[in-house]
A and B are shown apart, each in its own frame.
Chain A
Amino acid sequence: MWSSLPSFVAVYPETILVVVASALVLLDRVVKFKDVFTWITLATVAVTLGVVYWTVGTSFAFSYAADSYALFFKTIFLLVLLLATLISPGYGRVVGIHFGEYYGLMMYAVAGMMIMASAKDLVLLYLGLEVMSLSVYVLAGLLYSDMRSLEGAMKYFLLGSFASAFLLLAITYIYGLTSSINMEAIANYLGTHGLLANKALLFSLALFAIAFGFKVALVPFHMWAPDVYEGAPTSVTAFMSVGPKAAGFAAMGRVFLLALGTAKVGWTHFLIPLAVVTFFVGASLAVVQTNIKRMLAYSSVAHAGYAVLGIIAGTKEGMSATMMYLFIYALMNIGAFGIIILLRQKDFLGESIYDFQGLSKTHPVAALLMLVFLFSLAGIPPTAGFVGKFYVFRSAFEAGHPLLVIAAVLASCIAAYPYLRVVMLMYMRPPEKEVTLNLTGYLFTSLAISLTGVLLFGVWPEPLIHFARLCCGLAP
């Protein structure tokens, strides 16, 4: 009988994360020196990354595949976990969230994201999404002595659960039509039976678009994002502005391109208007924000709009461009949040954009780093943000959506304003407030990794492009 049991090798990375996370949560009571948890998390990231590469190509029955597609996303998730862990200790000590559960919850969330990226089965996809979401709801509300954190967590929780119900209904309809929950079986069934005009299929596609729209914050399903990003502890905001978003795109790629690839005409009808509205609304609303976390929240909404272009393209080139974009976005966004955390003191929030006024006079290096990250977010060469945007736009153009690309370029002109405003405040205004930096060795390492990545991939993107194309099954 034992020989008929599927091999568990494919789920080793997730198992490691969950086991270590549980251990951290339990150990928190006995360990008084909390930096230990940071070290354990960093070591686990290294081990898990090794195991992820070692287990490539294995699968768990038909429902779970540690394939190269998942490999790329898992690399992103572990990079996010690494950077988010490194920016946490200094900030966590200031606000009081430097303890075992914090790191444990981040690891649980990453395990959920990995399940989402590897799932070839709609049930597993749902479970991974919930493991991730439930952990992130708690993380967002972790600073519960602060009313803003609680309010943000509550809003995130309500809208997140609302979206999950839509995902479940979409899964139900697909199951009812194809009598299967396996993505490849669904693709086969749709390919042979040609249900493209079926109303239930279209309804299910719309529900999938809504559910994923909530998760990656596409307009009009973005309402939670600014509130949650502002309310959550900054290190958590950095984590969840990239991690769950990348996981959402991983799931979108699996569902739309693999399972529902034959119904491409159907779902592009829903996604194109969503994308256009997303990058215009995201960019325009970012302009009027004076809280930098809120500004970055709207910018992350706009960035989700650009990244979805690769999915709309519906080709392997498009998917590889989206994957590359998310990788670069992780580096530059967590870098920018790192600088916000650098400014944070016990009695100084450092969240208003006017707190950055004259930063170049008082702290030139911090100002220069912020400038690089903001330029990258705006998509100005020679930073990585430009490369990411270029490839996403090109893939959408080649797939036959020239108008969409023109709209995206126009929107990214508007989106440059809020970033450049912060740069202007830093470099062209005299300093008003006394700002001291809260620099730790961890934060320094995180900023160094982000900066290296943003500049290196900006001038020499070949390795990343090569890797992304390889993971999508394209010749490099």
Chain B
Amino acid sequence: MIPISWYLVLSLVLFALGAFGFIARRNVIIMLMCIEIMLNAVNISLVALGRGLEDTAAHLLVFFVIAVAAGEAAIGLALVVLLFKKTREVHMDEFRLLKG
């Protein structure tokens, strides 16, 4: 059996990739994808820990995370569509009305 620590390392690498992508990329769609990668990275370690500790609480949390991520994606994409309709643009750098 694959040891839990491998899953934890995998999840941490994925999380770091997501966080890096979120900071480095300015395309809103890519940023949304990076957030999903981060959430799923957490899900991997939750599932692995739940199996290792033989406890169901972690598996429960995974389902909640998936449900919340769906809600988040709905709101995020709605905002992207509204922004795109107005400006024909999906790059965060182009939205500079608010500053100071």
Contacts and interface: CB of A to CB of B under 8 A. Distances in A.
A binds B: yes
A151 B97 contact: yes
A175 B57 contact: yes
A318 B91 CA distance: 44
Interface stretch (A14-22, A133-141, A408-416): A133-141
A137 B46 contact: no
A161 interface: yes
Interface stretch (A80-88, A163-171, A214-222, A299-307): A163-171
B57 A157 contact: no
B9 interface: no
Contacts of B71: 130, 134
Interface residues of A, number: 41
Contacts of A459: none
Contact of A179 (B31, B35, B55, B98): B55
B13 to A, nearest CB: 13
Contacts of A127: 64, 68
Contact of A154 (B22, B46, B83, B100): B83
Given A151-B98, A231-B98, A169 B79 contact: no
Contacts of B76: 157-158, 161
B64 A126 contact: yes
B86 interface: yes
A286 to B, nearest CB: 11
A348 interface: no
B82 interface: yes
A158 B92 CA distance: 10
Interface string A216-236: 000000000011001100000
B60 A151 contact: no
Contacts of B35: 158, 161-162, 165
A165 B42 contact: yes
B45 A289 contact: no
Nearest to B15: A169
Interface string B64-100: 1100100110011001101100110000100101111
Interface in B37-72: 38-39, 41-42, 45-46, 49, 53, 55, 57-58, 60-61, 64-65, 68, 71-72
A181 B61 contact: yes
Contacts of B79: 137, 141, 150, 153-154, 157
Contacts of B61: 123, 126, 171, 175, 181
Contacts of B87: 147
Interface residues of B, number: 41
Contacts of B19: 162, 165
Contact of B82 (A150, A179, A288, A291): A150
Given A137-B75, A168-B42, A169-B15, A179 B53 contact: yes
A171 B28 CA distance: 27
Contacts of B92: 154-155, 158
Contact of B57 (A123, A165, A289): A123
B28 to A, nearest CB: 7
A74 interface: no
Contact of B100 (A165, A168, A181, A294): A294
Contacts of A227: 98-99
A123 B65 CA distance: 9
Interface string B1-16: 0000000100000010
17 contacts: A123-B64, A130-B72, A134-B72, A147-B97, A154-B95, A155-B92, A158-B31, A158-B76, A164-B72, A165-B38, A169-B15, A169-B38, A172-B58, A175-B57, A181-B61, A226-B100, A289-B100
- For the complex of A and B, the 10 pairs showing the least CB-CB separation, nearest first, are A165-B38, A227-B98, A168-B42, A151-B95, A179-B53, A130-B68, A176-B49, A161-B35, A154-B79, A181-B57
Given A126-B68, A127-B64, A158-B92, 7 more contacts: A137-B75, A147-B97, A154-B80, A165-B15, A165-B18, A181-B58, A231-B97
Interface of A: 123, 126-127, 130, 134, 137-138, 141, 144, 147-148, 150-155, 157-158, 161-162, 164-165, 168-169, 171-172, 175-176, 179-181, 226-227, 230-231, 288-291, 294
